[in-house]
Chain A
Amino acid sequence: MKILIIEDEKDLQNALAEHFRKEKFVIEVADNYMQAHEKIGVYDYDCILLDIMLPGGSGLELLKYLKSLGKSDNVIVISAKNSLEDKLEGLSLGADDYLTKPFHIAELNARVKAVLRRNTFDGKNTISVNNLSLNIDDRILLVNEKEVHLNRKEFDILSYFLANQKRLVTKSTLAEHVWGDHIDQADNFDFIYYQIKNLRKKLSKANARIAIEAHYGVGYKLLPE
């Protein structure tokens, strides 16, 4: 899997590159508009992370260029601009997703995985681990081919864990993913704990061969057994 990171902020670029290398992806980076333009024209990527504000030009222009090449469906726009117009324009130009800075790496990871899934398995949007299979589109969990009923939040939590397998997911990242934006209350951590307790119960009852490992005071890690 090859990922192109188009981001002029060196620090962020390095952090993202480091993260995705751990996931065993091949990473290429571009610092500015011209460099990005060149790489896009020459190579194919499985996923492109695109910053809107770049030295030398706008990321939206790159997106138009990608669209003209028919390669825009695996682009995730990452922008400091949280404006709806930019988001709509980005998505209408064929970008797959739009993420506003600052974001959690785990969140980006989940989105990248989603893009890869959609473009790799011909739209079959399912994550499978051991005897467990999660259908993202239909929101169904199958363990040993048998359906396990999950409520909305439990499903969101599990899919987030599955996209970030073997990685430590912090409570706040999880809370934000499950609760969406503008959550700023302390209460929801207890609630997350309670949801995970229920989720674990349901998974062990269905004999799912995964474990959610708690890291005290930090978060959780999903491990396939």
Chain B
Amino acid sequence: MKLHNQSLIYLTLAFFVIIGVWSFVFYIDLKDEIRDSIDDGLDNNRLLLLQQIEKDSSLLQQTEFGGNNFSVKQISRKNALAQKDVLKDTMMYRLNEDDLEPVRILHTSFRQQDKYYHLKIISSLVEEDDLIEDAFYNILLLFIVLVVSTFIINNFLLKRLWNPFYDLLEQISRYKLDKDTHAIKSKTNTKEFLALQEAANKLLLHSKETYRAQKEFTENAAHELQTPLAVMANRLELLLESENLNALESKQIAEILQTLNRLNHLNKALLLLAKIENKQYNEQEKINITKLIEEVLKDFEDFIDYKNLQIKRQYTQDITLNLDKHLAFVLCSNLIKNALFHSHENAEIIIKSNNNKLSICNTANAKALDGSTIFNRFTKGGNQTKSTGIGLAVAKAICDYYGLQLSYTYLAKENQHCFEIS
């Protein structure tokens, strides 16, 4: 979920709670305040009435509310003395509303010319349900306005605020340890983003250093091994020629030599990989890949005859790529060799070129290989214990170097393993 939406959800929840609590408190406050002022008004009314009654005793005849907002009733002295000023909420029929409506009523008593009276004064109250309803709609509107404006602010303002972050993120995700040398930089003065930028740069620098050291190690190790390997192999080759060896001994030496030979190939391939990764191949020229494939096939024609392989060519176009001649050859020959050696006898190899893609497919006994690891170094097909498992890694490295796609697909129906360059 996007940060915007997530913050929107949290804010919405917070708004809901805050506005809910606030409106509850506000409502109670408001009601108290209204009641207070009504009560004050009633009290004032009482004083005014008492003054009026002094002047106009006919008012004492008002025993029902009628059109006025008070009623007077004569009561006994005892009752009058017991009657304290009481303010109450009650319901009264209202003609215009044709319903019982809440009113505030003041019960009080007074003495007039030694007679005691019970005075009731009313004032209509705010209709609570209407108030709640009105308030609810207003609060709901406020809530919606808040959420919508938060959404808008999030999407336009905050997005702009977060721009440096997205910029940094984009730069980091596009960063290639082997290619990029510059530090990442975003135009921002925000402290947090500057800190992020600094931390990212520190991390990148460290990773680059590690990457370089690792590459250097591979290269140095492979390089320094060359001479000792040469000495070992040459000594063994000399030993093999000595007259005193019996058949078993020479066979054992030959086996050691074979192992040593594999080590040599491995070493050479690692060096080649290191060199590709170090970008030591800068010469580029236009290479006709389909033509080059044909040359490689010609190199292997004896082997193809020997295994009785059928090469099916389905070329619809010449594919021309810009790359180093030597690497182009290594790429083509590694792919062809891979197809040739993993085919069983009498099998078919299909080479296709169309839509700027070149694919080489071979049928083999093996089931689908793991596409995610097949291009890793030292991944071997099941029973190929004598292969170093580095040929495809080299091919992949060459493709990566020139920004080409090398992909593996398995066609279950035809039991075909396909490698495609595009």
Contacts and interface: CB of A to CB of B under 8 A. Distances in A.
B407 interface: no
A185 interface: yes
A151 B237 contact: no
B241 interface: yes
Interface string A149-185: 0011100000000000001101111001000111111
B258 to A, nearest CB: 5
Count chain B CB atoms within 10 A of each CB in A9, A102, A215, A218 and give the residue with the most.
A102
A84 interface: yes
Nearest to A185: B341
Contacts of B258: 170-172
Interface string B199-232: 0000000000000000000000001001101111
A104 B226 CA distance: 12
Nearest to A172: B261
Contacts of B387: 184-186
B250 to A, nearest CB: 5
B186 interface: no
B269 interface: yes
B154 to A, nearest CB: 57
Nearest to A178: B302
Contacts of A56: none
B391 interface: yes
A19 B269 CA distance: 28
B386 interface: yes
A105 B261 CA distance: 13
B23 interface: no
A183 B265 contact: yes
A16 interface: yes
B80 interface: no
B231 A9 contact: yes
B251 A216 contact: yes
A22 B237 CA distance: 13
B238 A219 contact: no
A80 interface: yes
A218 B240 contact: yes
A119 interface: no
A80 B337 CA distance: 26
A186 B386 contact: yes
B261 A176 contact: yes
Contact of A22 (B241, B253, B255): B241
Contact of B241 (A102, A104, A168): A168
A80 B229 CA distance: 10
Contact of A104 (B237, B266, B386): B237
A101 B237 contact: no
A3 to B, nearest CB: 15
B121 to A, nearest CB: 111
B268 interface: yes
Given A103-B230, A182-B330, A184-B387, A170 B241 contact: no
Count chain B CB atoms within 10 A of each CB in A101, A171, A195, A215 and give the residue with the most.
A101
Contact of A182 (B229, B253, B333): B333
B267 to A, nearest CB: 8
Contact of A102 (B230, B254, B272, B386): B230
Contacts of B254: 170-172, 217-219
A172 B394 CA distance: 22
Nearest to B250: A218
A82 B238 CA distance: 24
Interface in B315-345: 326, 330, 333-334, 337, 341
B226 A84 contact: no
Interface string B378-410: 000000111110110010000000000000000
Interface of A: 9, 11-12, 15-16, 18-19, 22, 80-84, 100-106, 151-153, 167-168, 170-173, 176, 180-188, 191, 194-195, 215-219
8 contacts: A9-B230, A12-B231, A80-B227, A105-B233, A152-B301, A168-B241, A172-B254, A217-B250
Interface of B: 223, 226-227, 229-235, 237-238, 240-241, 247, 250-251, 253-255, 257-258, 261-262, 264-266, 268-269, 271-272, 275, 280, 299, 301-303, 306, 326, 330, 333-334, 337, 341, 384-388, 390-391, 394
